[in-house]
């Protein structure tokens, strides 16, 4: 059985993330989407909220399990019997960081491989940061985020005072 892990902060999940999940779920028998912490980011949503959002948007994929972990990624992978890390690549600018992380993970566990999956061209510009910025100004998010989570996302943006549209 082939098992992979797609780690990320997913704050919020975008259609780009969902595209990677859909494609990876076709390649692997089992895919774990794991909400991880990123010390460089200040999330709008808790780990549990992000897990719930992703579960809502991935329920049509029977081989996808959504969880959160505060463990080192390689330790989480060992607990799942996974040998492959999935990382989405939007542009060459993503490569340097992801390549460095892949080498570190390989050093920590030589049995782990990282698959850098290119984004579909229609999502190459899309990131959670871009979605947050557009939400501040009341932009239509329907072509950027799964419809199942847009209302909750906009409510949070408004409740934390990030919404600027009058």
What are the structural domains of the chain?
A: 3-122 (3.40.50.620)
State yes or no: pLDDT of 162 exceeds 80. no
DSSP labels for 66-85? Answer: EEE--S-HHHHHHHHT--EE
Region 56-83: mean pLDDT is 97
- Identify the residue whose tokens are 């719930």: 52
Assess whether 60 carries a catalytic annotation: no
Set 17, 47, 50, 87: catalytic member: 17
Q: Say which range, 51-55, 100-104, 133-137, has the weakest mean pLDDT.
A: 133-137
Which pair of tokens denotes residue 139?
Answer: 């932009």
Q: To 5 degrees, how large is the angle CA 26–CA 30–CA 36?
A: 105
Assess whether 41 carries a catalytic annotation: yes
């Amino acid at each position: 059985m082939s098992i992979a892990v797609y780690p990320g902060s997913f704050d919020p999940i975008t259609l780009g993330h969902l595209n990677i999940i859909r494609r990876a779920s076709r390649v692997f028998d089992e895919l774990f989407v794991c909400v991880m912490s990123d010390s460089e980011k200040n999330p709008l949503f808790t780990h549990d909220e992000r897990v719930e959002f992703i579960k809502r948007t991935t329920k049509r994929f029977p081989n996808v399990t959504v969880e959160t972990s505060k463990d080192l990624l390689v330790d989480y992978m060992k607990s799942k019997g996974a040998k492959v890390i999935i990382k989405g690549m939007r542009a060459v600018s993503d490569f340097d960081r992801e390549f460095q992380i892949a080498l570190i993970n390989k050093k920590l566990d030589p049995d782990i491989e990282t698959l850098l999956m290119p984004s579909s061209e229609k999502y190459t510009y899309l990131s959670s940061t871009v979605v947050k910025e557009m939400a501040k100004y009341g932009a239509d998010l329907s072509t950027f985020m799964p419809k199942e989570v847009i209302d909750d996302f906009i409510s949070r943006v408004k409740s934390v005072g990030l919404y600027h549209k009058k």
